[in-house]
A and B are shown apart, each in its own frame.
Chain A
Amino acid sequence: MTETDKPVVALRDAAKHFGPVKALDGVSLSVAPGECLGLVGHNGAGKSTLVNLINGTFGPSSGTVDFPGGAGDVRAVFQELSLCPNLTVAENLAMAHPALKGVGWRRPAGAEIRAALDRVFPDHGIDADAEVDTLTIAERQMVEIAIGFAPRGGAARLVILDEPTSSLDEGIARQLLSHVKAFCAAGGAVIFISHMLGEVFDVSSRIVVLKDGTVVADRPVGDFTRAGLVDAMGHVATEGAAQQAARSAPGEVILRAEGLEARRGEVVGLSGLAGHGQAAALARLYLGLSSDWRRGRGAGAVFVAGDRPRDGVLPLWSILRNVSISVLGRGLVDRAAERRLAEDWRKRIGIRTDDLTNPILSLSGGNQQKVLFARALASDAPIVVMDDPMRGVDVGTKQDVYAMIRAEAAKGRTFLWYSTETEEVCQCDRVFVFRNGEISAELTGEQITEERILEASFEMQEAS
């Protein structure tokens, strides 16, 4: 094996577990110089974990990650922007440039970032002395990519691009793709992660499909067809589709906002890849319904949080108080009524505790989530907004909750359900799929299938 044939990075049976969750379950993969590896997979397939393993953010739980030519000059451009917004473009480059020291580091830093930007994005029009928070999102992304490809005292050998084009317009994206091709032709390696399948086909020499933390396909790009690629990513739970029965006939439209439409007694799903505007749309929608202080209390909607520590539980309070906070009424709290209500919900929803005065944190995650459901359902709001409420909840609890949502919907309540899990979305009566902050498809009834949702979440057009 000559020096150039050695892979830049080789993973063997690399696995990463976060507690009981297997984010990555034995992945073997290598990237050779001159290769552009397209990496695709649905939410939670393990793409980001893989990136972090290669980038060295954390080590594997088992297996190995080897860099035969040394781990230096492996760069990652992350999906969420990771520049210092208060520093200038040139200063941001200098942070990642260990060789710039002593007096007069500004001039070389400025020259290097200017050269890198010119190389990747000709006519970019970005001032190297501008502070990053004065740039647009697309410009920040361009700066980050340019820093990834900049020499920085060496030469980039492997650049990982995680959704690099998500905030770039088409012309700029094309510049990036042609730079990636030129970079690979010159012997560099790239791992390219994108939901734009057209781009992946255009730029990659090989495509790896991840599903549930394992590699399900690893073939040269010519062996894939678009439909075949979507097929390889999908089919997580086909048996789930059979459960769609006993649906109530939806009533009149009671909500029309953000391009969404919801009818009385309907369960409306919001789907798509994470970070494509679903959660933001849901939050805006909820705030629009509930935060109008002039209308007073008795809100039109209640919220079930998925991120329990951040916007769900009141960690210092008892289970009882956590349930009753939404229905306290005016004036003094009627303690007896409060207790009756909580006891009632404990039975109906099956919160596993002997004593409702126990602290909320004594419950498991799934039971805490039930408390949050009880809090929402105990109110008389006609609309229930759910922000990925099943995060980290076990299967049994999920089934309980599904049944309860169905029962409540039959009584005329409307549910807006954002979920990252396609299986859950398949429980809904109507699904809106988001892509790049816009609704790309509205599916109802029989149309709600894993395939259709995947199709709508991924860009199918040519990135020509």
Chain B
Amino acid sequence: MLSRYRIILPVVSLAVLLAATFYMQPRAMSYFGLNLLFNLAVPIALATIAQMMIIMVNDIDLSLGAFVSLAACITATYLNDTPLLGVLILLGLVASYALMGAVIHTLDLPAIVVTLGMSFVWGGLALFILPTPGGAAPGWIRTLMTVKPALVPMAVLAAVLIALVTHLLVIRSRLGTVLRGVGGNARSIARAGWNVTVLKATAYGLAGLFGVLAGMALVGLTTSADANIALRYTLLSIAGVILGGGEFIGGKVSPVGAVIGALTLTLAASFLSFLRLSPDWQIGAQGAILILVLTARLLFSRRGAAA
């Protein structure tokens, strides 16, 4: 029964952090303030979902940051200048991710090594396309990312939308269920007549898709790109998945949790700034928050296992 409550801890972590932020800085409790707080959470949430697709099938992706950077560079250049070619390149990137999944499964390679190697390929391509920071965001993406809906800020609305769509895709749909099954017991899925190679390619393809979306969203916010723009997303996305109640093995993931995890990580950075903590200490403090939440989860799950 514990799994039903897996979502509680991420929600509580976010609520506590949000309450602390509002206490420190009451002016953040506004339409504008919330948008500012969570603006950058949108691409991180998409990247976290991408990472979750990989973790769902018991692998891990160390190339995600470089991949999102590459997608951002293409968005800021080709997609802006020659939209058709840009779309084709981005689709090619998604396909290459699916191919990577198929290769990893067929040749039984460790995903951690393959993706680490691929991160240099993505990074190299990004530098090749955009040697110096630059490019421009396509107007429609810029409009989309800066839209001001009534009542709820765009960042919050986008987070809810991402959580809803991926929840339907991963938890409710038959495809998502089979993919989670691959993480749970690949042999049983194969015995039931599924082609596990195709399923793994699908999971990686979905990761590629969300990685591309993350890159596009990021360019929409920053208006230009840079080959190293999203390198820290690799670790942020892994942390987001785990913070959101996912587990490294066993196909136990939660898309809603992953989005909340991404929001929590983004908020943690702002919170530490409000604390007037020197930037030198911020990364360490962010790590401390992460360890704190994970310790809490471990304690809960231990107690659950003992009961």
Residues of A within 8 A of B (CB): 55, 57, 82-87, 91-92, 94-96, 98, 100-102, 105-106, 130-131, 133-134
Rounded to whole Å, the gap between the CB of B303 and the closest CB of chain A is 15
| CB <8 Å contact, A87 and B193 | no
Known contacts A86-B180, A95-B192: A100-B2 contact under CB 8 Å: no
Question: Taking each of A86, A96, A105, which has the highest tally of chain B beta carbons within 10 Å of its own beta carbon?
Answer: A86
| CB <8 Å contact, B251 and A134 | no
Q: Specify which of A86, A130, A134 is in contact with B250 (CB 8 Å cutoff).
A: A86
Rounded to whole Å, the gap between the CB of A451 and the closest CB of chain B is 37
Is B27 part of the contact surface with A, judged by Cβ < 8 Å?
no
Known contacts A82-B187, A84-B188: A95-B177 contact under CB 8 Å: yes
Report the nearest B residue to A56, measured CB to CB: B191
Is B1 part of the contact surface with A, judged by Cβ < 8 Å?
yes
Is B200 part of the contact surface with A, judged by Cβ < 8 Å?
no
Given contacts A87-B177, A100-B174, 20 further A-B contacts (CB under 8 A): A84-B181, A84-B184, A84-B189, A85-B184, A85-B185, A86-B183, A86-B252, A87-B180, A87-B181, A91-B181, A94-B177, A95-B189, A95-B192, A95-B194, A101-B174, A105-B174, A106-B172, A134-B1, A134-B2, A134-B3
Report the nearest B residue to A84, measured CB to CB: B184
**In whole angstroms, how far apart are the Cα atoms of A134 and B187 in the complex?**
20
Known contacts A86-B251, A105-B174: A98-B181 contact under CB 8 Å: no
**In whole angstroms, how far apart are the Cα atoms of A55 and B187 in the complex?**
14
Known contacts A87-B180, A94-B174: A82-B3 contact under CB 8 Å: no
Known contacts A84-B181, A87-B184: A131-B250 contact under CB 8 Å: no
**In whole angstroms, how far apart are the Cα atoms of A20 and B45 in the complex?**
54
**In whole angstroms, how far apart are the Cα atoms of A131 and B184 in the complex?**
11
Known contacts A94-B174, A95-B192, A96-B192: A84-B3 contact under CB 8 Å: no
Residue pairs across A and B with CB atoms within 8 Å: the count is: 57
Q: Specify which of A83, A101, A105 is in contact with B188 (CB 8 Å cutoff).
A: A83
| CB <8 Å contact, B2 and A83 | no
Report the nearest A residue to B187, measured CB to CB: A82
Q: Can you list 29 A-B contacts (CB < 8 A)?
A: A57-B191, A82-B185, A82-B187, A82-B191, A83-B185, A83-B188, A84-B180, A84-B189, A86-B183, A86-B184, A86-B250, A86-B251, A87-B180, A87-B181, A91-B181, A92-B181, A94-B177, A95-B177, A95-B178, A95-B189, A95-B192, A95-B194, A96-B193, A100-B174, A101-B174, A105-B174, A130-B1, A134-B1, A134-B2
| CB <8 Å contact, B174 and A85 | no
- Please name all residues of chain A whose beta carbon is closer than 8 Å to the beta carbon of B252 when the two chains form the complex: 86
**In whole angstroms, how far apart are the Cα atoms of A294 and B251 in the complex?**
37
- Please name all residues of chain A whose beta carbon is closer than 8 Å to the beta carbon of B189 when the two chains form the complex: 84, 95
Which residues 160-209 of B sit at the A interface, judged by CB distance below 8 A?
172, 174, 177-178, 180-181, 183-185, 187-189, 191-194
| CB <8 Å contact, B251 and A95 | no
**In whole angstroms, how far apart are the Cα atoms of A130 and B3 in the complex?**
10
| CB <8 Å contact, A85 and B177 | no
**In whole angstroms, how far apart are the Cα atoms of A328 and B191 in the complex?**
47
**In whole angstroms, how far apart are the Cα atoms of A443 and B191 in the complex?**
41
